């Protein structure tokens, strides 16, 4: 169970994942050793899953986004496993969720532009195993992304 100090650590790290243990300790009102212990415990228990750079897709030439709803022909274990593995391996699919009800999956896809997305759709999305229907919605503007859970 995490307490208010752990939550404070998580809030500060969400804002700046590169913060030093010394700076973090000062922000949460601990000395370095107990802060470091808490940080390692949060990592060891999987509360903190990792650290990574937050990259602006548009800045690296991938400013086009689409949300794709996927309905499978049949939902059996083998089809889902193959489908999910192919989705996980594809770098242009940056988020994926399996849903209850219709549709079966929601994918977030990034591409350079509309023609690049069309090529990706035709070559990759339509060839995913078990796909019955694909419905795309184009993203006009991101209002909030990668916010993480409230802590």
Arithmetic mean of pLDDT, 20-40: 96
- Residue 126 confidence (pLDDT) above 90: yes
pLDDT of residue 5: 96
pTM: 0.84
Beta partners for 106?
69, 97
pLDDT of residue 31: 96
Q: What share of the chain in percent tops pLDDT 90?
A: 86
Q: At 146, is the pLDDT very low, low, confident or very high (cuts 50, 70, 90)?
A: confident
Beta partners for 109?
66, 93
Whether the link from the prior residue into 16 is cis, omega within 30° of 0, is no
Tens of pLDDT, residues 41-97: 999 999 999 998 888 999 999 999 999 999 999 889 999 999 999 999 999 999 999
Torsions phi, psi of 148, nearest 5?
75, 175
Other CB atoms within 10 Å distance of the CB of residue 70: 22
pLDDT of residue 54: 85
- Residue 148 confidence (pLDDT) above 80: no
pLDDT of residue 138: 96
Q: At 33, is the pLDDT very low, low, confident or very high (cuts 50, 70, 90)?
A: very high
The residue among 2, 7, 138 whose CA lies nearest residue 65 is 138
d(CA 148, CA 14): 8
Arithmetic mean of pLDDT, 125-140: 96
Are the CB atoms for 24 and 35 separated by under 8 Å? Answer: yes
């Amino acid at each position: 169970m995490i307490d208010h100090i752990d939550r404070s650590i998580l809030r500060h790290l969400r804002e700046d994942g590169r913060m030093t243990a010394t700076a973090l300790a000062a922000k949460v009102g601990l000395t370095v050793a107990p802060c470091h212990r808490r940080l390692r415990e949060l990592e060891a228990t999987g509360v903190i899953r990792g650290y990574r750079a937050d990259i602006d897709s548009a800045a690296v030439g991938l400013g086009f986004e689409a949300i794709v709803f996927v309905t499978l022909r049949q939902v059996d274990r083998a089809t889902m496993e193959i489908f999910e593995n192919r989705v996980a391996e594809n770098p242009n699919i940056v988020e994926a969720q399996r849903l209850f009800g219709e549709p079966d999956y929601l994918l977030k896809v990034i591409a350079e532009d509309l023609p690049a997305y069309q090529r990706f759709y035709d070559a990759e999305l339509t060839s995913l195993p078990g796909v019955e229907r694909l419905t795309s919605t184009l993203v006009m503007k991101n209002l909030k992304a990668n916010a993480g859970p409230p802590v």
